[in-house]
Structure 1
C-alpha cells in the first residue's frame, strides 16, 4: 500500500516538474546563443540539434515501443516535424543575430500565446473575449519593447530579425500542437526527428554559410549546452507535460519564459536593464495568463 501511494504521489508531480524544467532550460537559449556567437546561425542550429538527438537517445530508448504510423502520418512526423524544428531553431538563432537579443527573445517567446490561440480555435471554432483581450495586452508589451528600435532603424533596421523571431514563435506553437496529438509517439521518435532536423540545417549551412571552420572552445561548449538542455531534455520534458491530463494548465508555465530569459540576459550583462524590458515582459506574461484563464 505504501508503494502504491508513493507512486501516485510522484506521478502527480511529474507533469508540473517536466513543464518547469522545460521552461527553465528554454529561458537559457538567448544567453547560450550569445556565448556561441562565433558560430553562424545555421551551423549552431546543426550542432545544437545533433547534441539534442544524442542527449534524448537514452531516455527515448527506455520508452515502450510506439504503434506503427500510417503512411500519411509517417511522412508528416518524419518530414513535417523536423522542418518545424528547423524553422524554430534556425530562425531563432538568426533572429538573435539580426535584432537586439532581448527584443528578439521576447517576440520568440510569444509562442505559448500563439499556441493558446490556435488550440482554442481548433477546439471551440471561436476565440473568447478574454483570449482576445489578453492577446492584445501581450502583443502590446512586445510592441513597447520593439517599436522604438524598429522605428529608429526604419526598413533597413532590425525588421528581418523581428520577422524571424515571429517565425520561430509560429513554428514552436505548431510543434506544441503536434505534441498534444495522441498516437504520434514523438517522445520515442524524438532523437530520430532531431537528427533529421540536424542534417537539414547542416545541408542548409553548407549552401548558405559556406565552408566549415573550427569554432573556439566557448562556442562548442555553448552549442553542446544548447543541445543537452533546451533542445534535448527540455523537448522531452515539454512533450511529457503536454501529455499530462492538466497539460493545458501546465502550458501556462511557458508564459514565464520571457521574464526568466530577460533576467538571465541582464544578469549576464548581455543587455541593459532598460525600464521597458521588465514592463514589456510583465505585459506579455500578464496578457498570456489573462488569455488562458
Structure 2
C-alpha cells in the first residue's frame, strides 16, 4: 500500500518550508544593505524594488482585483506600494543613522506588531499575552537605546532607531493586509513593487542630491536584496501566511534578528557586546509570548 498524505498536512509543511526560506533570506538583508552603504538610501530602495519586481515577474497574473470595490482597489494599488516603499526605505535610512545590527533588530520587532494587529482585527480586543509579549519585545529594543537615553538628547542614532521602528510598523501592516485582503498579493507583487519603485525614484530625485547610479558592490548588493529578501522572500512569506498556521509561521520569523545579527558579527560589520544578544533574546521571547 502507498501511504496517503493529507492535503492539509502537505499544505502545512509547504507553508513552513516557505516561511523558512523567507526567514533565511531576510536574515541576509542587513549584511547586503551594509555592503551597499556607498549608495544613497532612496536610490538603493529604487534599485532593490526594481530587482524584486523583475524577480517576481513570472508570477504575475490576473486575480480579479477589478471586481473588488473601489476601496479595496485603492488600498491594493496605492496603499500596499506605499507600505512597501515605507518599509524598505525606512529600513535603509535607519541603518545609515544607527548601528546596523541594532537598527535591524528594532525593525524585526514587526512580528509582535503583526500579532497585535491580527488579534485586534479578529477579537476586537488585545489579549493580555499579546500585550505582555509586546512589552518584553520593546524592552529589548529599548535596551539598545539606553546609552543614548542616559547621555541625553536625540542624537542621529536615536533618530535612526525611530525610523527603524517605522519600518517595523510598515512591515506589520503589510503582513496584516496580505493576510486579510480578499485576493492574494503574490500574483500582484511585480506590479506593486514597480509602483513602489516609481515612488522611491521620485522621492530620490526630490530629496537626494546625488543622481549617480550605484556601482560595484553597491549595485550587486542592491540587486541581491531585490532578488532575495524583497523578491523571493516576499512571495514565500505571502504563501506561508495564506496557507499555513499563522501562529507557527509567525513564530519562525522571530529567529530573523538573531540570525541577522550573527551574520553581521561574523562579517566584521558589527561589534558584539552584551546588549545586542540580550536585546535579541528579549525580542524573540516577547514575540513568542505574544504569538501564543
Residues 83 and 3 of structure 1: is their aligned pair in 2 closer, same or farther, counting only changes over 3 Å? farther
Q: Does 1:129 align with 2:128?
A: yes
Moved more, 34-43 or 116-125: 116-125
CA distance in 2, matches of 1:55, 1:274: 37
**What is residue 260 of structure 1 aligned with on the other side?**
259
Once the two structures are TM-superposed, the CA of residue 27 in structure 1 deviates from its matched residue by 1.3
Q: Which runs of 4+ in 1 moved over 6 A?
A: 6-9
CA distance in 2, matches of 1:122, 1:264: 35
Is the CA contact 2:11–2:243 (under 8 Å) kept in the aligned structure 1? no
Is the CA contact 2:51–2:223 (under 8 Å) kept in the aligned structure 1? yes
1:216-231 correspondence to structure 2 within 5 Å: 216-231=215-230
Q: Does 1:30 align with 2:30?
A: yes
Once the two structures are TM-superposed, the CA of residue 126 in structure 1 deviates from its matched residue by 1.9
Q: Which runs of 5+ in 2 are unaligned?
A: none
**What is residue 168 of structure 2 aligned with on the other side?**
169
**What is residue 77 of structure 1 aligned with on the other side?**
76
Q: Does 1:66 align with 2:63?
A: yes
1:77-226 correspondence to structure 2 within 5 Å: 77-152=76-151, 154-226=153-225
- Tell me the SS of whatever aligns to 1:154: coil
1:248-287 correspondence to structure 2 within 5 Å: 248-287=247-286
Residues 197 and 5 of structure 1: is their aligned pair in 2 closer, same or farther, counting only changes over 3 Å? same
Once the two structures are TM-superposed, the CA of residue 103 in structure 1 deviates from its matched residue by 1.4
Once the two structures are TM-superposed, the CA of residue 173 in structure 1 deviates from its matched residue by 0.5
Once the two structures are TM-superposed, the CA of residue 10 in structure 1 deviates from its matched residue by 4.5
Is the CA contact 1:242–1:248 (under 8 Å) kept in the aligned structure 2? no
**What is residue 55 of structure 1 aligned with on the other side?**
55
Q: Which runs of 5+ in 1 are unaligned?
A: none
Give the TM-score taking structure 2 as reference length. Answer: 0.94
Once the two structures are TM-superposed, the CA of residue 7 in structure 1 deviates from its matched residue by 7.0
RMSD value over aligned CA atoms? 1.9
Once the two structures are TM-superposed, the CA of residue 101 in structure 1 deviates from its matched residue by 1.1
Is the CA contact 1:150–1:158 (under 8 Å) kept in the aligned structure 2? no
Give the TM-score taking structure 1 as reference length. Answer: 0.93
